Structure 1
Amino acid sequence: MTEEARRIVIEHAVEGTRLRESYFNGNADKVVDGARRMAVTLAKGHKLLFCGNGGSAADAQHLAAEFVNRFQMERPPLPAIALTTDTSIITAIGNDYSFDQIFEKQVQALGNEGDMLVGISTSGNSPNVVRAMRAARERGLATMGLTGRGGGEMAGLCDILFDVDHGRTALVQEVHITIGHLLCGLTDHFLFENVLALQPWLKDATNA
Structure 2
Amino acid sequence: MSLQNRIINHFTNSIQAQQDTMTSLGELIEFASQRLVATLLNDKKIITCGNGRSAAVAQLLSSAMLNQYERDRPSLPAIALTTDTTTITAIANDYHFDDIFAKQLRALGQSGDILVAYTDGNNSANIAKAISAAHDKDITVIALTGNNGGMIAPLLHEIDIEIRVPSDSSIHIQEVHALITHCLCDLIDHQLFGG
Q: Tell me the TM-score normalised to structure 2 length.
A: 0.95
For the residue of structure 2 that corresponds to 1:152, the secondary structure is coil
Contact 2:49 2:127 in 1 (8 A): yes
Amino acid of the structure 2 residue aligned with 1:58: A
Give the Å deviation of 1:88.
Answer: 1.1
For the residue of structure 1 that corresponds to 2:152, the secondary structure is helix
Which residue pairs with 2:102 in the alignment?
A: 104
For the residue of structure 2 that corresponds to 1:33, the secondary structure is helix
Superimposed CA distance per residue, residues 107-135 of structure 1 (whole angstroms, 9 cap, x where no aligned partner): 00000000000111112110001100000
Aligned mates of 1:5, 1:170 — CA distance in 2: 18
Which residue pairs with 2:138 in the alignment?
A: 140
Runs of 4+ in 1 over 3 A off after TM superposition: none
Which residue pairs with 1:130 in the alignment?
A: 128
Give the Å deviation of 1:165.
Answer: 2.8
Which residue pairs with 2:61 in the alignment?
A: 63
Which residue pairs with 1:75 in the alignment?
A: 73
Contact 1:143 1:157 in 2 (8 A): no
Amino acid of the structure 1 residue aligned with 2:21: Y
Give the Å deviation of 1:140.
Answer: 0.3
Q: After TM superposition, list the pairs within 5 Å mapping 1:57-206 onto structure 2.
A: 57-158=55-156, 159-193=160-194
Aligned mates of 2:92, 2:147 — CA distance in 1: 28
Paired-residue identity, %: 41
Point out the structure with the larger helix share.
Answer: 1
Alignment coverage as a number of residue pairs: 192
Unaligned runs of 5+ in 1: 195-208
Unaligned runs of 5+ in 2: none
Which residue pairs with 1:44 in the alignment?
A: 42
Aligned mates of 1:189, 1:157 — CA distance in 2: 31
Q: Tell me the TM-score normalised to structure 1 length.
A: 0.89
Give the Å deviation of 1:152.
Answer: 1.3
Contact 1:125 1:153 in 2 (8 A): yes
Aligned mates of 2:124, 2:23 — CA distance in 1: 28
Contact 2:17 2:166 in 1 (8 A): no
Give the Å deviation of 1:73.
Answer: 2.2
CA RMSD of aligned residues (A): 1.2
Aligned mates of 2:16, 2:138 — CA distance in 1: 37
